[in-house]
Amino acid sequence: MILLQEITEESKRIADPIRRLQIRIQVADLLWALDEPEGRRLFQGLIHEIARMRTEARSEGAREQAVLEQRRRELFGELLRTVIRRDRKFAVDVIERLQEDEVAGATAGITRRALYQEVFGMLWDASVGESSPQVSLLLDVAGRILSPGSPIPAVVSLALTSSASGAPQLGDALFRLVLSRFPLPTEFESSFLAVLGMYLSRRFRGSDSLEPLEKEARSVFARVLAHAEFLWQQVRANPAQGAGRENQAFILSLNREYLPLFQRFEEPARAAAAMTLARALADVVPTERRPSAPTPGEGESLEDRLRRIEREPRTSVRDQLLRELALAVAPDEGEQVAEKITDAKMREVTVTEVRIKRIHKHIADRQFEDAERMIPALPESALRSRALIEIARAMLRDRHEDTVRMVLEKAWQEAWRASPTPRRAECLFEIASLYAGVDSSRAYQILLDAVKAANEATPEERLDVRSESFGRVLYMPGKFSLTYRPDLDQIELPAALMLLVRGDFQGMRLAAWGIRSPALRSRFLLVLARWLVEEIQKENKRADASRS
C-alpha cells in the first residue's frame, strides 16, 4: 500500500495528463487486488477526472485539441477494459451512472449508445473461451444498443455469428434477444435477415434438428420468404432496387445460408418456393462480382514489372513505384529493386527497410545465423541492437539459453555504441529483462546501465517515410523499424524485470529512484508493485489452503 501511495504521488509530477492518468489506472488496478472497495473508489474518481480533461485543453490549437480528445477516448477505453477484468457488472454500472456531458467529455463526443457498443465488444472479448460466460450481463448491454430504428450494430453481428459454434448457449440467447427487438419487418430487413441467416447456418451445420431454436428459426424462415417475395416484386419493376449493398447481402444469404436450411428443415413446397425466389433474384441482381481487370503488375514477372516501371519518364514517380515494388516483393528480391531508386535518401531508407524485412523473415524461420549475418549492414547501432534483441527473444522462446548470452552481449555492446536517445535506453531495459532468466547478476548490471542511459537520453529527430517524398509507402513492423523513435516517457518496461525484483527488492527500488523521468520512474515502481501484489496474493492463498 505504501509503495502504491508513492507511485501515486510520483505520478503527479508527470506533465502529460494522459500519461499521468495511465499510471493511476494501473495503481487502481493493483490496489483493487489488495483492497477492493478502495480500488473501486479510485476508478470512479478517475472516470470523472478523464471527463474533466476537456477544460484543461481549451487553450490548445484545433489539431492539438483533436489529438488530445482521441487520446482521452483511448484512455477511457483502457480504463473500462481494466475495470471489466475486475468486475464487469461494476463497469456497466459506471456507464449507467454517467451524465450525458460526462459521457461526451470522457469519450470525445460519442453517444451513450455508441459507448455501450464499445463496452459490449470489451465484455465479449473478456467472455471468449469462458466455460460460463456472464450471459445476463451481455444480454443487458446488448439490449441497450439494439433498436428497431437502426440496423444491428456490427459488434453484435460479429458476436452473434462467432458464437454459433464456439458458445451456442450465449449465441442462442443473443439470437432470441435480437429477434425480440425486431419483431416486425424494418427498413433494414435485408441486413437483419442476412445476419440471422449466417447464425442459423453455422449453428445447425450438420444437425438434423432446429432445437432449441425451432420456433424462432421457423419464424425467421417465414420472414425470409415474405421479404424475398417483396424484394422480387421491387426488382422486377426496377432492377436497380436490388443493387444496394444490404439487398445484395440478403440475396447472397438466401442462396448460401437459407436455401440449405429450407431444404433440410422446411416442407418441400416452401423449400421449392425459396429456391424459385433465390434463383429469380440472383438472375436479376447478380451477387457475384465479375473478375476485375488485372492491376498493373499482376501476373508479371519481376523483370517485366521493372521494365514497365523504368519506362516511366518522371523520376519522382518512377522512384515511388520502385520503392513500392521493393517492399512488396520477396525480401531477397527487394534489395536489388531498391538499389535502382534514383533519389539517394529514398534509396538508403528503402534498402534499410528491405534488410529489416529480411531479418524479420530469417527470425520467423528460425534462421538465427542468417539473421545475425545481416545485422552489420544496418546503418546505426540502435537498429543493430534492436535486431539482436529480437533474435535473442526468439532464441529464448526456443530454449537456446546456452547460446543466447553471446547474442545478448552483442546487443548490449551495440546499445552502448548508439547515440544517447530513448531508443538506446529502451534497448538496454529489454536486454536486462531477457538476461533476467539467464543470469540475474548480469541482468542487474545492465539494468543500471539502462537507468544511466535513460537519464542521458535526448529526443531524436523523427523520420516520416509516409511523406510524399517517400511515396507514402511504409514498412513498419513495430519497434524494429526506422520510424520507431519513442519519447523517453513512452518507453515500455518489460514485465520480465519482475524476475530481478525477487532477488533484490531493495536494489531494484534504489534503481527506480535513480531514474530522473517521473513517468519512467513511476512505470519502474509499478513493476515492483506488481511483484509485491503477486507475492501477497500467493501468501493469502497459502494461508487459506492451510486453514482449510
In angstroms, the CA 11 to CA 2 distance is 14
Answer for the pair 270, 262: CB distance below 8 angstroms, yes or no.
yes
Identity of the highest mean pLDDT range in 42-56, 363-377, 491-505 = 363-377
Is 540 a member of any domain? no
Last residue of a domain, one of 235, 265, 288: 288
| Residue 47, domain member (yes or no) | yes
What is the pLDDT, as a whole number, of residue 57?
A: 46
Residue range 303-323: average pLDDT?
89
Q: List % helix, strand, coil for the chain (3-state, nearest 5).
A: 75, 0, 25
pLDDT tens for 317-328 read 898 889 889 988
List the grid coordinates of 364. Answer: 520467423
For the segment 153-203, what is each residue's pLDDT rounded down to a tens digit?
999 999 998 888 888 888 999 999 999 999 888 888 999 999 999 999 999
> DSSP string of 98-153?
--HHHHHHHHTT--HHHHHHHHHHHHHHHHTT-SS--HHHHHHHHHHH--TTSPPP
Q: What is the count of structural domains for the chain?
A: 2
20 vs 97: CA distance, rounded Å: 25
pTM: predicted TM-score of the whole model, two decimal places: 0.79
Of 288, 320, 351, which one is at a domain's C-terminal end? Answer: 288
Has residue 374 been placed in a domain?
no
Cβ–Cβ < 8 Å for 262, 274: yes
Output the pLDDT for position 109: 66
Mean pLDDT over the full length of the chain: 87
Identity of the residue numbered 371: A
Residue scoring higher pLDDT (502 or 174): 174
Q: Is residue 106 part of a domain?
A: yes
Radius of gyration for the chain, computed over Cα atoms and rounded to the nearest angstrom? 29
Mean pLDDT of 35-61: 76
**Residue 431: closest CA among 416, 443, 441, 440:** 443
DSSP string, 169-215: HHHHHHHHHHHHH--S--TTHHHHHHHHHHHHHHHTTT-S--TTSHH
Higher pLDDT, 59 or 243: 243
Higher-confidence position of 544 and 226? 226
Amino acid 178: pLDDT: 93
423 confidence band (pLDDT: 50, 70, 90): very high
User: Where a domain ends, among 238, 259, 288?
Assistant: 288
- Write down the pLDDT at residue 50: 82
The verdict on residue 252 lying in a domain is yes
Beta carbons of 453 and 417 less than 8 angstroms apart = no
| 172, part of any domain | no
**What is the rounded distance in angstroms from the CA atom of residue 494 to the CA atom of residue 524?**
10
Q: How confident is the model at residue 14 (pLDDT cuts 50, 70, 90)?
A: very high
Q: Is 469 among the domain residues? A: no
Q: Which domain holds residue 60?
A: 1-110
Residues 8 and 103 in one domain: yes
Taking residues 440-446, what's their average pLDDT? Answer: 94
Q: Please name the amino acid found at residue 411.
A: A
pLDDT tens-digit readout, 90-147: 988 888 887 777 777 666 667 888 888 989 999 988 887 676 668 889 899 999 999 8
To which residue does cell 533474435 refer? 391
6 and 101 in a single domain? The answer is yes
Q: Which three three-digit cell numbers place residue 357? A: 524485412
Residue 510 lies in a domain: no
SS3 label, residue 424? helix
Residue 166 near residue 159, CB atoms below 8 Å? no
Least confident of 295-309, 377-391, 405-419, 526-540: 295-309
